[in-house]
Amino acid sequence: MKKTPALRLINPQSHCSFVIKEEPFDLNTKWHYHPEIEIMYFRKGKVSAIMGNRFMEFNEGELVLLGQDFPHVIFRHENHKESDSTPQGVVIQFAYDFLGAHFFKTPEMVKVRALLWKAKSGILFKAKETVKVKKFLVGISRKSGPYQLTNLLETLICLSEEQCVNFLTIEQEYNRSELDERRMRLIKEYIYANFKNKITVADMANLVNMTETSFCRYYKRRTLKSLTRTLNEIRVSYACEMLRKKDANVTEACYQSGFTSPAFFSRTFKKIVGMPPSDYRKHKMEQIVRW
Residue 25: CB atoms within 10 A of its CB come to 21
- Give first-to-last CA distance, the chain, whole Å: 54
Q: How far is CA 166 from CA 19, 50, 56, 100, 122, in A?
A: 25, 16, 13, 29, 8
pLDDT of residue 39: 97
1 pLDDT band, cuts 50/70/90, is very low
Domains, the chain: 6-167 (2.60.120.10), 178-290 (1.10.10.60)
Strand partners, 40: 64, 91
C-alpha 276/C-alpha 279 separation (Å) is 5
Q: Write the pLDDT tens digit of every residue in 95-128.
A: 999 999 999 999 999 999 999 999 999 999 999 9
pLDDT in tens, 214-245: 999 888 887 878 999 999 989 998 898 888 87
CA dihedral 250, 251, 255, 256 (to 10 degrees): -50
pTM higher than 0.75: no
pLDDT of residue 158 exceeding 70? yes
